[in-house]
Structure 1
Amino acid sequence: MAVVAAIATACAAAVLPPVTAQARSAPGAASTVRVSTTSDGTQADGLSDGASISADGQYVAFWSAAPNLGADHFRALLIKDLASGQVTRVPGARTYGGSYTAISADGRYVGYASGTRYPSAYVYDRLTGRSSEASRSELSSVDSLSADGRFAAVTVGNRNPSRPAQLRVRDLVDGTDEQIDPQQTPTGHPSVGNGSLSGDGRLLAFATGPRSGAYDIFVKDRTSGAVQQVDVPLDGVQDEKRSSLVAISRDGRYVLFQSESANLVPGTTGPGLHSYLRDLRTGSTVRLAPAGVTAAAVSGDGRKVLLSEDGRLSLLDVCTGDRAEVGPAARALPGSVTGSGEAVAFTSESAVLVPGDTNAVADVFVHRPPR
């Protein structure tokens, strides 16, 4: 109850967009559709995962090991148009085990990592059918895209585990890179990565840390250069507990993250990993759920948060505290919730979500909660 009360108080203080009377008067039943099918609706003959969904809810990008979706010895990258059912394969995209996908607001651009051994980062333009390098570095990946697909946050790893990761923002229009300097942060940890861009590309949330151990979360204003900490301790004393970034909301106001630190919100915080939502405008942080409930994604307006508990996904309304069931035996990526939280893309091994699911492998689904 304390968590729900805190959420409601934070929602009121933050003035999150209210549920309108029109929205309340137009209820609709929940629905789940399977995305990982061929264009004619045939179920995939191999597993699929790694899904992200466009802000408008029309396009889903995902990886598949299914031969009838174009996979061979490597997984194929697909884009599904949920309006027409058409499936498009991203040419040349291949990987052994899949990777993150990032998709622009209108579904035109998809960011991914491709390679048969050491993958590199690319961005695919669905309209032109061409992919552009977002990084020539090995072990690089696209963490997120700006809403228009112009900017890509790219983490660059290293085959030498003793060397720290790097984070860059690639401007795909003029071909320039902005290197994120971890020394700009108060903690000055050498490793930086897991970049999450706001919709306009101005704000970049990222994680820093040593090569192993504690991490902290920051947001950089790429226009002013200002950097602020997200996992801010109430007493001002940094601890050695680990924090991990999930994502910044598309509107750039909220940052979803997880932390083992016990001094981020007023009151008693028990041991374990907790999920938090930071309002950058008011400087307030709210704990979303008890320990053991992890956060997976946040809607573009910051109002809906996707939570995972015991392998089940649910969508939390930050204003009301209500949680709507999404799916069992499920997992999801940071880019899996639409702009206003009206749809969620996820992976599940469950065979009972849609009729006729007999392929006995993980599939990608889109769930639309009741309205």
Structure 2
Amino acid sequence: MQYTPSRNTIGHRRASISLLLALASSFALASPPAVTVPVTEALSGPNSGSLGFTSLSSSGRYLAYVSSVRSARGNIYILDRTTGTNIQADLTVAGQPSAGAATASPVLSADGRYVAFRSLAADMGVPNGKTGFFIYDSISNITKPIFIGYASNTAFTQLTISADGRYVAYRALLAAGSTESNIYVYDRVAGTSSPVTTTHTLGTQFIQISDDGRYVAYIGQVRGVGKTEVVVHDRTSGIDDAFEGMAQGLAMSADGNVLAFVSAQNSLPGDITGTRDVFVRDRKAGTTERASSPITVNSHSGGPGGVTISADGRFVSFLGYVAPLNVISLYRYDRATRTTKRAVPAAGFHEYTFNYPSTSRDGRYVSSDGMLLPFGTAARIQLTDFGTATGVSVAPASVTVVEGGNSATYQAVLLQQPTDNVAVNVVPDAQLSVARSQLTFTPSNWNTPQTVSVQAPANDIVQGTRTRTMTHSLASSDPEYTLLPVASVTVTITESGPPTIVVPTVWSPEPIPLRGTAAPGATVLITVSTDGAPAFISVSAVADAQGNWASSLFIPSPGPYQLEAVANGLHSIVYNMNLADEAPQ
């Protein structure tokens, strides 16, 4: 989605929201590397109160948030950033807008259709002393309860929703006033909740769920031990993957593999003693890295929840501070390029401003709370556009070639303009060859696709059909492209001899029926020539899954002719025929 912020006040269906855009000025940090300052939008809500607890949809088009007046009464809204419409999501059983109460933790599905949230509103059926978790469907305009009972009512109580909006995970206390809790997963389709078997009691409220609802991540204390851990529970196998983290704030990639969390635990890799830092755990690789490096950013969560991660686990956005600023700012760390960008607040916002970040699926947009000047006046929402990520697009991801035959092609192109030339080195497998081993993109031609041609030279070894890989690496003085990984291309090599051609000795009437064999799916070109002259007649056919092809041709006059079939660059044996005045019967 391409979005151009507006400076105009936009009318809304149920409430109005004015969208103000300010270009932030550059700011150089004392610690290298320098960070880029992106553009930030400042969003005002439907009343004079405060805004916060944001959640972005996959594309960043929809934004859910809490609008409250003096923290006493709050409501859930969904903003469509494209149309400017703003609708209330906390509706009563009668379908009327709730008068509001303590509300928090809105979380959006990927398409922005569903939002799950917490409310204590009596007009939504929540008795005094209890908590209600709800889900709103923006298409049917209906809010349904997920759970009404005992749960922690801190401002940081968090729900989590799967990408398709089917599953919602939440924590509930075992009884009123209990310190023991359990995690439940609500199935919107079935309309039921089931407990997640956990070995951990209440730690913090942070919960995450994978796109498919299989993995549930949470922070908890080991029962009977008191040690705080980050846990990923596999709902299919029932197995827990736990590691010590002392975490405050948690985010998980779409597939459940990469986790980002805030921790003050000094034993973690790269930890700065005495500070809270942001770490990333890759479960498959078994590695943990400090995301708040390489610059000397000491993470400050601004309250739990100060970290979020893109769906692919590449971008980690967090709240931190760095000398000489000594104020909280929003940073986005790129795990692929190992570079960090800092967002500068919009005009009229206090520098000590960011809180509760949420990211779009690709990590481009990040929303967070902000404080208007003078400090403490009111909370607002800031949305930072970090721009299109640097990268190299390679397509298609797979091609097929015939050993000894024609080449196949794919293309590569940069996704963002570089500051200097970027060389893409093309490295073929030993059984492959390429016409160009390096592609050079400049700041001028970066968005023009370049073609790679790959072949499988013939050899005398029968290996059958196999797959090989084309890999790529980058070389550039642009730090955004220095460490960036590039996708590989899978090449399927089929082994096939030259095509064959068979002409019947008897046929009637014209034209002449032809048949033969070639590699399955190959296009076969049959040509007719005479006395060594260039071909003057040609027809084509496609070999079926068994490698058989059939066609026919008409030769207008008698005489000697030569017939040849070509497929995938391979030539058949030349067939000589002498066409008489009349076709054989």
State whether TM-score is above 0.5: yes
Alpha-carbon distance, 1:46 to partner:
4.1
CA distance in 1, matches of 2:199, 2:133: 19
Alignment of 1:1-371 (within 5 A): 1-2=25-26, 6-7=36-37, 28-47=82-101, 48-73=103-128, 74-91=130-147, 93-95=149-151, 97=153, 99-115=157-173, 116-117=176-177, 118=179, 119-134=181-196, 135=198, 137-140=200-203, 141-157=205-221, 164-182=227-245, 191-210=246-265, 214-234=275-295, 241-244=298-301, 245-262=306-323, 269-289=324-344, 291-295=351-355, 296-310=357-371, 311-319=379-387
Larger radius of gyration: 2
Count of aligned residue pairs for this structure pair: 286
Larger relative contact order (CA 8 Å, sep ≥ 6): 1
Q: Deviations over 1:305-356 (max 9, x none)?
A: 1132210112222229xxxxxxxxxxxxxxxxxxxxxxxxxxxxxxxxxxxx
CA distance in 2, matches of 1:130, 1:194: 28
Residues 1:255 and 1:302: Cα distance change in structure 2 (over 3 Å): same
Q: Which residue of 2 aligns with 1:354?
A: none
Alpha-carbon distance, 1:193 to partner:
4.7
Specify which structure has the higher proportion of strand: 2
User: Aligned-pair RMSD on alpha carbons?
Assistant: 3.1
Asked if structure 2 preserves the Cα contact closer than 8 Å seen for 1:122 and 1:142, the reply is no
Alpha-carbon distance, 1:233 to partner:
3.8
Alpha-carbon distance, 1:53 to partner:
0.9
Amino acid at match of 2:137: D
Asked if structure 2 preserves the Cα contact closer than 8 Å seen for 1:304 and 1:316, the reply is yes
CA distance in 2, matches of 1:70, 1:312: 29
Partner of 1:133, secondary structure, is strand
Residues 1:113 and 1:200: Cα distance change in structure 2 (over 3 Å): same
Asked if structure 2 preserves the Cα contact closer than 8 Å seen for 1:164 and 1:192, the reply is no
Asked if structure 1 preserves the Cα contact closer than 8 Å seen for 2:134 and 2:147, the reply is no
Residues 1:276 and 1:317: Cα distance change in structure 2 (over 3 Å): same
Identity %: 29
Specify which structure has the higher proportion of helix: 1
Q: Which residue of 1 aligns with 2:4?
A: none
Amino acid at match of 2:380: R
Q: Deviations over 1:22-74 (max 9, x none)?
A: xxxxx953111111112543122441322111111010101111233221130
CA distance in 2, matches of 1:96, 1:107: 23
Structure-2-length-normalised TM-score:
0.45
CA distance in 2, matches of 1:39, 1:314: 32
Alpha-carbon distance, 1:96 to partner:
5.2
Amino acid at match of 2:153: G
Q: What residue ranges of structure 1 are gaps of 5+ in the alignment?
A: 10-17, 20-26, 183-190, 263-268, 321-371
Partner of 2:36, secondary structure, is helix
Partner of 1:207, secondary structure, is strand
Residues 1:284 and 1:76: Cα distance change in structure 2 (over 3 Å): same
Alpha-carbon distance, 1:274 to partner:
1.8
